Amino acid sequence: MEFIDTHAHLPLLKDSSGDVLERAQKAGVLKLVTVATEASNWESSRQAAADFENVFYTLGLHPHQADQWAACAISLEEIFLKGIPPKCVGIGEMGFDFHYNYASREHQSVALEAQLRFAKKWDLPVVIHCREAFSELFELVRKIGLSSTGGVMHCFTGSAPDAKAALDLGFKISFSGILTFKNADDLRSAARSIPLTETVLETDCPFLTPMPYRGKPNEPFYLPHTAACLAEVHGLRVEAIAEQTTRNAESLFRI
């Protein structure tokens, strides 16, 4: 079986990227996308992709740091002066987070709208973080639209109606280790309603380690546990999950 981890944070892992990727390959995770969240880890994400053939990366600003957008916008434009950088496959992580509100809603809205427009300009998919803000997020996406490549709802934790609204807008739905948590019955029910053709997998490592390894730092090696849970949700063999989600990820990120 072959898997793709569509959302990792390699620069945040304590072990060397080489060791992490070696363990991942033994588990069948042959490609991954390391997702940048602020300007301070843009270069380390780019370097990880440059150093390893099976690593790709995105550039973006997380809603927690949305008040930094003015400076980040200039840096992002400079990076793209000569076109899309090699192995940069998306824009994000971006979005709304109305749970913590580390940045004001106004700053979050400005940063998200600008990044959506930037992604459309370069025809790149977007990686969306959304917490307690689905209606506001969908309203803004309807206003701005997505590129022809669409995007992905990272670490989805919404309801079946939230998922349908996201799919109608052109998003894929990504499931993390949360799907395996004992108290995630509602999420598993929502997952059952989502066509497998619109689903991808992620670790969000080093966060959200799946059962039965909660408490340990997460890494791509653990992705098959989330795949096994999704297989159980759909009543399918895990091989079918691996094949379809890998195909979906390859199409989404053009990798």
Look at residue 148 in the predicted model and tell me its pLDDT. 95
Q: 180-205: per-residue pLDDT in tens?
A: 999 999 999 999 999 999 999 999 99
Nearest to 230 by CA among 252, 253, 198: 198
Look at residue 142 in the predicted model and tell me its pLDDT. 97
Look at residue 230 in the predicted model and tell me its pLDDT. 98
Look at residue 179 in the predicted model and tell me its pLDDT. 98
> Taking residues 96-122, what's their average pLDDT?
97
Look at residue 153 in the predicted model and tell me its pLDDT. 98
Mean pLDDT estimate for the chain: 97
Helix (DSSP H) and strand (DSSP E) numbers for the chain? 9, 8
> Taking residues 210-224, what's their average pLDDT?
96
Distances in Å between the alpha carbon of 77 and those of 37, 52, 113, 121? 16, 25, 15, 11
Nearest to 52 by CA among 38, 32, 79, 35: 32
Distance, in Å, from the CA atom of 166 to the CA atom of 141, rounded to the nearest integer, reads 10
Q: 5-59: per-residue pLDDT in tens?
A: 999 999 999 999 999 999 999 999 999 999 999 999 999 999 999 999 999 999 9
Task: Report residue 105's pLDDT band, with 50, 70 and 90 as the boundaries.
Answer: very high
Sequence-distant (6+) residues with CB within 8 A of 131 are 96, 97, 98, 99, 100, 157
